[in-house]
Amino acid sequence: MGIARSALVVLAVGAVVTLVVVGVRALIGSSGSQPERPSTAGSTVVRASEGRAPTVRFECVAEVCPTVTVRVPGGDVLHHREMSGGEEVSYFEPELDVVLGDAGTVRVTENGSPRAPGEQGAREAFTARGPGG
């Protein structure tokens, strides 16, 4: 009976250690794998070292702006959510696919130049390319 009890204790300790190792690896992997993206009202990523305008910049000009989606073509989704009034976000990737749930609620700037405002209530999709893209 003593050997069986010892074996059970060893297995239980091994299971706990395995769970701790897997948990720590998951935390380390999730904290370092995502690029920093602005997500609070009034925040804008400005990279002074680059000395250039963002490929695309959004500013919510309504109380709430319906879903704004930004993704790298064939790749990661960088932004997919509603925005709050006054919230700003900027992206510097060479090419981005954009979908605005309500184009009339978002002020868009491409490469430092304002984009023509969209119609209130209309969905709009476009591709933004950085300089030289």
Task: Report pLDDT digits (tens) over 35-86.
Answer: 444 433 333 444 443 578 999 999 999 999 999 999 999 989 999 999 999 9
* Of 3-7, 16-20, 70-74, 95-99, the least confident: 16-20
128 vs 100: CA distance, rounded Å: 13
Chain mean position to CA 47: 17
Compute the mean pLDDT over every residue in the chain, rounded to the nearest whole number. Answer: 82
Element (H, E) at 4: helix 2-33
Residue count (the chain):
133
pTM (two decimals): 0.61
CA dihedral (29, 31, 37, 39) positive or negative: positive
How many Cβ atoms sit within 10 Å of the Cβ of residue 38? 16
Q: Could you give the CA distance from residue 112 to residue 128 in angstroms, rounded to a whole number? A: 12
